[in-house]
Amino acid sequence: MKSVKPIDRKQVRPTDAYIEDNMEPKSIAFSSITVVQQMMDADANIAGNVHGGSIMKLVDNTACMVGMRHTGGNAVTASLDRLDFHSPVYVGDILRIKASVNYVGSTSMEIGARVEAEAVLTGEVRHTASAYLTFVSLGPDSKPRQIPKIICETDREKARFAAALVRKKKRSEAIKESRAQRELSLQKS
């Protein structure tokens, strides 16, 4: 019987192809991505609509591609702000996820995603969901690494950057409050 040589996962990961030392600021358009996919029976929930979890995974994957494109390396999800579904997505619909960087810190970034569903026969487009995800850039050592700044070229991009700063501040405050509550709870036990 032939022995099977184990695969060294590090040899096959695309995230090992880091673009080192490229800290030149990048335009938002540089890393923006639109993913289009027709929703099939395998995506359906028990009610016959597309399962929210299937959409969430596509949102996360799309945002990850944006993060990797911007950083030139690995990017991982740190958090996902609210994901509210405004309208259902049906089997057969074309799902369109548009994602781009809104804000960049030193090692993390906010990526916004807009989800639209298009009825393939009528062309009717529905805004299905929006979400803001925070991604952290990781180096080959799996530790956070510096990432390039973004260049806001349009008034809309500047407004999205400003709104992202407000959300970042709220997230930071919520994290501090959560830590304080956790410490208080530990002290009581």
User: What confidence tens digit (pLDDT) does each residue in 141-150 have?
Assistant: 899 999 999 9
The whole model's pTM is what? 0.85
- Kindly report each contact of residues 121-129 with a partner whose C-beta sits within 8 Å and lies 24 or more positions away, as own/partner: 125/96, 126/86, 126/87, 127/86, 127/87, 128/55, 128/85, 128/86, 128/87, 128/88, 128/89, 128/95, 129/55, 129/59, 129/83, 129/84, 129/85, 129/86
User: What confidence tens digit (pLDDT) does each residue in 119-142 have?
Assistant: 999 999 999 999 999 999 999 889
| Token digits of residue 140 | 């080959």
